[in-house]
Amino acid sequence: MLRKAVESYVAVRRAVGFAFKSEGTQLKSFARYSDARDETYLRAPIAIEWAEQAHSRYTRARRLGIVIRFARHIHAEDPRHEIPLTVFGAEKRTRPTPYIMTENQIRQLIRVASCAGYRTLRRTTYSTLFSLLSCTGLRLAEAIGLRLKDITPDGLVIRETKFRKSRLVPLHETARVGLERYLEQRLPYAPGEDHVFVSLRRKPLLHVDVERAFRLAARAIGLQVAPGRALPTPHSLRHAFAVRALQTCPDGRDAITQHMVALSTYLGHGRVLDTYWYLEAVPELMTDIADRCEQFMRRAKP
């Protein structure tokens, strides 16, 4: 029976730092499915049959991938356990090309947000929030989750967000001044609320609030979307920050490596590979890489 083997495997993964919540739930479901068929060992056809119950191909691939990794673990101790083949293909969807806003578009967006609606705190809230997303590369959830205590002399403390990581994000002096200017209006408006950004309801901003305000501002400045391309969203401001940071990367292999690691840490990426993704996902960066390669090859010719 696989139930005990699953419990042991899940305990090992969590002991080394993985949350392993959804994976653990899926494996327990598979163990119940296998045990109901009186299987003593992990059988590939049973695993595929279980995974096939999911509605989409990507979900089936994901479910089977979880079992495959578990199978490799227990197969190392007992080869009678079978390791299924990846019959449903890749587990992850291809990441779409991000919508990269230009600096001029970002300035226009912030300007429109600062004038939208009635003369209320809403104008300052969204113009400040969009400015902060643009100059720090924060995720939207990180920005609207900021508390007053997270603003420190050294920067913004981002507490256990994605990947259960905390980090310190330094602030440029102009960003700090803009944030302080916003708080001068915000604090008297909702003195009992410790979130930095609040709505007119005197409550923390919701994702849907920000997305609606961004969509209205983007429409007002006429952001164009090509067929089949990603739509501009608040996350586009983070993408734009990452691209600007990569475009300022210094020359030299060691310098590039250090720059990428620093940027990956700053953005809160779980893997530096997620930062390198921008190099292949953004046409402007690919063009820069091609130009550099061409220059290198010309210098290398005798």
Q: What is the pLDDT of residues 82-132, one digit of tens each?
A: 999 999 988 877 777 788 899 999 999 999 999 987 778 999 999 999 999
Does residue 85 fall inside a structural domain?
A: no
In whole angstroms, what is the distance from residue 163 CA to residue 151 CA?
Answer: 21
Residues 211 and 240 in one domain: no
Burial profile 88-119: b = 16 or more Cβ within 10 angstroms, e = fewer: beebeeeeeebbbbeeebbebbbebbbeeeee
Domain that holds residue 294: 235-300
Residues 118 and 197 in one domain: yes
Does residue 227 fall inside a structural domain?
A: no
* Residues labelled catalytic: 139, 162, 235, 238, 269, 278
The percent of residues above 70 in pLDDT, for the chain, comes to 90
Residues 180 and 277 in one domain: no
Does residue 54 fall inside a structural domain?
A: yes
Does residue 200 fall inside a structural domain?
A: yes
Does residue 279 fall inside a structural domain?
A: yes
pTM of the model: 0.69
pLDDT tens digits for range 237-269:
999 898 888 888 777 667 777 888 888 888 888
Counting as low any pLDDT under 70, the low residues of the chain are: 162-164, 228, 252-253, 280-284, 286, 289-290, 292-293, 296-297, 299-302
Give CA separation, 127 vs 111, 122, 273, 276, in Å. Answer: 7, 8, 32, 30
Residues 143 and 214 in one domain: yes
Does residue 145 fall inside a structural domain?
A: yes
Residues 213 and 240 in one domain: no
Does residue 230 fall inside a structural domain?
A: no
